[in-house]
């Protein structure tokens, strides 16, 4: 580890290593996990199963990119699970009750999702409400609104093409929903790594006062980051609706915790300023592979929860140990 | 002096400390007697902190012996050292602002009676500790809102309440003004007469002679010289510290040009920390701002740089109103601030030097909005070389010495070719050798026509670098002195109005 990170200069190997910087531990964990599962069960290492894993993590993956940005600037977004449900319900209502075309319903519901993020962001920056509280409030409000739309009822009966996006594999490989996740990964990664804005987020997370004095518009970036997080929670909601072919106000309960877990397992620091999308992708895959593998092994969902909790604690403890050395 | 017993209470013999293969202390001997102040001097990295951390139990030596009150001494933790009677007062105060003074004094070892916290006993004992230092403050008061000097004294009272026989004071006056320093010195004298031994670490060489009995100079992890008296000429000490003779501390000051760059008219703080400030600074001029701590100097320059709000007045650049509403405004107009607290406001400690230099310059480094690591590193390396930062781009800023961190802060701003550079306490906590390179940078900026404002609590410094000096007292401008009329007396007269 130490020897590797020292030769960071130049070369393709160096570039690859610097991409992995901080995420090598989780990556090794993921590889070990896959090796173990491929020996422990004969179903794991099949193309079909691996594609399934991607389908299963698509909602989590999309939301985790937004959460990565939020945690990078030292914030937290507890509202994403509720915003996901609200987006689903707004879309379902607009399309199946109000009778708008489904495509327009999707766009408008995403606007609502982004607005929830904007409200959280403004509360945090202009009214100086701590992020934890602002998004906790939004979590409650969004969940309530989602329930109010249909008085707690689910909405079904979307056109066939809608759910086909979640199960029809283009070229026999990717579903549209997985493609959406990959595009979100790519944009998030490139933004953080190669844009002035992305680099500014690291500065804000590292020390907001230094960033402000350096002429970075901390308030604007903060609001922007929560808008993106809300928007991506909304996209996650649409993807989930495609997968379920229905929308319900109870969807996405405790998804915010899964999302935070994926980001943290991927090595992004909860205090901000350190981490990245690559680690988050690994974190998402670890959770996905773990769930999938435990299912194949016939482990009960209750035990799965215990295992995932232990993995979160181990991942963060390992990271802290590495830093402390 | 007053010590009746001349045998040392603390003796260190051949103390060594290694981290891996790197030895940072090379067999240091040190004696401290009861009732004396030993000044421990040296540049940053000379080994003073390591040595004092060993004495106070924070760090364990690799080899060597310590004797404390005639018994072998090897504290395993700060707590063990405290229990033995050795107290260390750190440069960064470690008080809990939302607790009372008494609670702070006894934190971690609350006095109890029958299982319940005995507030009365704690308050009484804290009060007697405070009185020993001549402080008449209620021990029930919250620490929040106390002046830095008083907080410092409370730290000392805390150590005294725990029966400390030896105090290690690390840069106790770094954040204190002249009067507060004198107050602290009076208390130190009192402790001396009570037989408390004191190890005093400081960079302010002028004031040390007032209180010290002996001076120990360290360099590169070894003791290089010891003086058995306090009134050693500053130059002699500095030469021992840097290991070469110093021709002059301050470089020559260039003559300013005629045209006025920056003008401040009737500026008042939104927080009331300064009011109605008026001055104009010329192109290529170094304008010093002196005053006691709390006079409003930091607040004033922060407002000029857009970091703090104002309630009235305006700021003009080349005759045009530019009054900044945010740091972004100020930076756009070419006014940049090198802030007072490097670690909290100047650099992101756990980010790399290259990233730190890049942060205010991201838009310039980006081509069409995109930044590559390579472009960022090339940009930073250029400035790391130009400013002689001793470190590599990928190192974290936190690994650098104070002087090099300050160079990183300067580098990130000077990359923008500013018109006005505001430096708040530019050499606080920076060792003597590195200070002169900061002064040279200031003069080079001025000779290039940059307008420089320097706020400093160090009178020698503000006298040494400024063309003119504005003195502030209690939020008001007490006067502006020309270089030829300014000396420490004329400044202190104005500052204490």
**B111 at the A interface (CB within 8 A)?**
no
**A191 at the B interface (CB within 8 A)?**
no
Residue B205 has pLDDT above 70, yes or no: yes
- The Cα of B179 is separated from the nearest Cα of chain A by a number of Å equal to 31
Q: Which residue carries 């890049």 as its tokens?
A: B358
pLDDT tens digits for range B133-157 = 777 888 899 888 887 778 888 888 8
Regarding whether B268 and B236 lie in a shared domain, the answer is no
- Contact between B363 and B385 (Cβ < 8 Å): no
**B438 at the A interface (CB within 8 A)?**
no
Q: Which residues pair with B422 in a beta bridge?
A: B337, B453
Q: Which two tokens stand for residue A270?
A: 């909860």
Residues 5-34 of A with CB under 8 A from B: 8, 18
**Which of B242, B276, B306 is the last residue before a domain boundary?**
B242
Beta-sheet pairing, B335-338 with B420-424? parallel
Q: Which residues in chain A are closer than 8 Å to B369, comparing Cβ atoms?
A: 195-197
> Would the CB atoms of A216 and B358 count as touching at under 8 Å?
no
What is the predicted pLDDT for the residue at B209? 83
ipTM attached to this prediction: 0.82
Domain assignment present for A24: no
The residue of chain A nearest to residue B362, with distances taken between CA atoms, is A196
Pairwise CA distance, residues A178 & A285, whole Å: 13
What is the predicted pLDDT for the residue at A9? 39
Q: What is the CATH number of the domain that holds A235?
A: 1.10.3470
Q: Smallest Cα–Cα separation from B37: which of B74, B11, B3?
A: B3
> Would the CB atoms of A203 and B355 count as touching at under 8 Å?
yes
For B360, which of A194, A206, A214 is closest by C-beta distance?
Answer: A214
Q: What is the CATH number of the domain that holds B283?
A: 3.40.50.300
Mean pLDDT of the A61-76 span: 97
* Mutation target vs A (from B20, B327, B397; most A CBs, 10 A cutoff): B327
Among the listed ranges A71-80, A297-306, B86-95, B403-412, which one has the minimum average pLDDT value?
B86-95
Q: Which residue carries 């979640």 as its tokens?
A: A166
Q: How many domains does chain A have?
A: 1
Q: Which two tokens stand for residue B362?
A: 């991201």
Regarding whether B28 and B111 lie in a shared domain, the answer is yes
**Which of B201, B216, B242 is the last residue before a domain boundary?**
B242
Domain assignment present for A28: no
Taking residue A36's Cβ as centre, other Cβ atoms within 10 Å add up to: 13
Fill in the DSSP letter of residue B76: S
pLDDT tens digits for range A136-165 = 999 999 999 999 999 999 999 999 999 999
**Which of B242, B270, B297 is the last residue before a domain boundary?**
B242
Give the residue with greater pLDDT, A117 vs A320. Answer: A117
Domain assignment present for B57: yes
Residue A268 has pLDDT above 80, yes or no: yes
Domain assignment present for B5: no
Domain assignment present for B450: yes
> Would the CB atoms of A206 and B351 count as touching at under 8 Å?
yes
Domain assignment present for A320: yes
The residue of chain A nearest to residue B345, with distances taken between CA atoms, is A210
Regarding whether B264 and B230 lie in a shared domain, the answer is no
**A75 at the B interface (CB within 8 A)?**
no
**A215 at the B interface (CB within 8 A)?**
yes
Residue A20 has pLDDT above 80, yes or no: no
**B360 at the A interface (CB within 8 A)?**
yes
Domain assignment present for A314: yes
Domain assignment present for A172: yes
Pairwise CA distance, residues B483 & B372, whole Å: 48
Regarding whether B332 and B210 lie in a shared domain, the answer is no
Q: Which two tokens stand for residue B106?
A: 């006894």
Q: Which residues in chain A are closer than 8 Å to B371, comparing Cβ atoms?
A: 194-196, 199
Domain assignment present for A211: yes
> Would the CB atoms of A196 and B366 count as touching at under 8 Å?
yes
Domain assignment present for A4: no
Domain assignment present for A192: yes
Regarding whether B235 and B366 lie in a shared domain, the answer is no
- pTM score of the predicted model: 0.78
The overall longest dimension of chain A from CA atoms, in Å, is 62
**A207 at the B interface (CB within 8 A)?**
yes
**A200 at the B interface (CB within 8 A)?**
yes
The domain in which residue B479 lies consists of 260-495
Where does the pLDDT of residue B158 fall: very low under 50, low under 70, confident under 90, or very high at 90 and above? confident
The domain in which residue A91 lies consists of 50-324
* Mutation target vs B (from A189, A190, A207, A212; most B CBs, 10 A cutoff): A207
Q: How many domains does chain B have?
A: 2
Q: How many CA atoms lie within 13 Å of B277's alpha carbon, on the beta-carbon side?
A: 33
């Amino acid at each position: 580890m130490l020897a590797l990170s020292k030769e960071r200069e130049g070369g393709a190997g160096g570039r690859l290593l610097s991409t992995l910087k901080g995420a090598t531990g989780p990556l090794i964990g993921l590889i070990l996990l896959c090796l173990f599962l491929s020996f422990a069960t004969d179903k794991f290492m099949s193309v079909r199963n691996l594609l399934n894993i991607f389908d299963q993590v698509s909602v989590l993956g999309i939301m985790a990119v937004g959460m990565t940005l939020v945690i990078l600037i030292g914030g937290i977004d507890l509202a994403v699970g509720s915003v996901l449900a609200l987006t689903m319900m707004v879309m379902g209502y607009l399309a199946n009750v109000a009778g708008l075309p489904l495509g327009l319903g999707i766009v408008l519901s995403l606007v609502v999702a982004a607005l929830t993020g904007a409200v959280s962001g403004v509360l945090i920056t202009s009214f100086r409400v701590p992020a934890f509280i602002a998004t906790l409030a939004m979590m409650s409000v969004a969940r309530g609104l989602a329930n109010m739309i249909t008085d707690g009822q689910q909405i079904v009966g979307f056109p066939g093409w809608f759910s086909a996006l979640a199960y029809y594999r283009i070229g026999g490989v990717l579903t549209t929903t997985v493609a959406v996740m990959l595009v979100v990964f790519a944009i998030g990664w490139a933004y953080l790594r190669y844009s002035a804005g992305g680099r500014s987020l690291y500065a804000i997370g590292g020390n907001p006062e230094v960033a402000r004095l350096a002429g970075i518009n901390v308030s604007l970036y903060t609001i922007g980051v929560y808008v993106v997080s809300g928007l991506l929670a909304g996209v996650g909601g649409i993807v989930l609706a495609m997968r379920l072919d229905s929308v319900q106000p109870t969807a996405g309960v405790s998804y915010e915790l899964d999302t935070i877990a994926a980001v943290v397992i991927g090595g992004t620091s909860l205090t901000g300023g350190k981490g990245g999308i690559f680690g988050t992708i690994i974190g998402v895959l670890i959770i996905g592979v773990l769930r999938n593998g435990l299912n194949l092994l016939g482990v009960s969902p209750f035990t799965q929860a215990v295992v995932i909790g232990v993995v979160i604690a181990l991942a963060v403890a390992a990271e802290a140990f590495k830093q402390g050395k | 002096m007053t010590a009746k017993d001349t045998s040392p209470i603390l003796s260190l013999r051949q103390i060594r400390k290694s981290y891996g293969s790197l030895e940072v202390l090379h067999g240091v001997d040190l004696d401290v007697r009861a009732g004396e102040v030993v000044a421990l001097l040296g540049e940053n990295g000379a080994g003073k902190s390591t040595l004092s951390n060993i004495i106070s139990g924070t760090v364990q030596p690799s080899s060597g012996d310590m004797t404390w009150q005639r018994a072998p001494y090897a504290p395993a933790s700060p707590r063990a050292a405290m229990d033995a009677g050795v107290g260390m007062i750190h440069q960064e105060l470690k008080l809990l602002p939302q607790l009372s003074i008494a609670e702070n004094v006894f934190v971690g070892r609350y006095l109890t009676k029958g299982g319940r916290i005995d507030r009365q006993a704690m308050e009484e004992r804290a009060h007697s500790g405070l009185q020993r230092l001549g402080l008449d403050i209620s021990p029930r008061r919250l620490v929040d809102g106390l002046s830095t000097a008083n907080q410092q004294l409370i730290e000392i009272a805390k150590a005294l309440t725990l029966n400390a026989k030896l105090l290690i004071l690390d840069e106790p006056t770094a954040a204190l003004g002249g009067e507060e320093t004198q107050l602290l010195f009076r208390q130190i004298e009192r402790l001396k007469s009570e037989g408390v031994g004191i190890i005093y670490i400081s960079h302010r060489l002028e004031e040390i002679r007032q209180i010290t009995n002996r001076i120990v100079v360290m360099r590169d992890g070894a003791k290089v010289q010891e003086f058995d008296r306090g009134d050693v000429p500053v130059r002699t000490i500095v030469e021992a510290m840097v290991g070469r003779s110093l021709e002059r501390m301050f470089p020559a000051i260039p003559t300013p040009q005629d045209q006025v760059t920056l003008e401040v008219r009737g500026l008042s703080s939104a927080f009331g920390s300064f009011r109605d400030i008026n001055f104009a600074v010329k192109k290529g001029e170094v304008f010093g701002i002196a005053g006691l701590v709390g006079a409003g100097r930091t607040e004033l320059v922060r407002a000029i740089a857009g970091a703090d709000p104002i309630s009235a007045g305006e700021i003009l650049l080349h005759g045009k109103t530019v009054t900044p509403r945010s740091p972004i405004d100020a930076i756009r107009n070419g006014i940049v601030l090198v802030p007072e607290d490097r670690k909290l406001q100047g650099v992101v400690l756990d980010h790399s030097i290259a990233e730190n230099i890049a942060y205010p310059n991201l838009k310039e480094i980006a081509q069409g909005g995109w930044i590559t690591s390579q472009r960022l590193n090339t940009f930073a390396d250029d400035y790391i070389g130009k400013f002689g930062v001793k470190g590599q781009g990928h190192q974290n800023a936190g690994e650098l010495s104070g002087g090099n961190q300050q160079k990183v802060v300067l580098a990130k701003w000077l990359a923008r070719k500013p018109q006005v550079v505001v430096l708040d306490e530019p050499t606080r906590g920076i060792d003597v050798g590195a200070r002169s390179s900061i002064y040279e940078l200031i003069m080079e900026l001025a000779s290039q026509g940059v307008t420089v404002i320097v706020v400093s609590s160090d009178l020698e410094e503000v006298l040494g670098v400024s063309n003119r000096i504005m003195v502030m007292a209690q939020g008001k401008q007490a006067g502006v002195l020309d270089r030829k009329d300014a000396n420490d007396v004329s400044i202190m007269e104005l500052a204490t109005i």
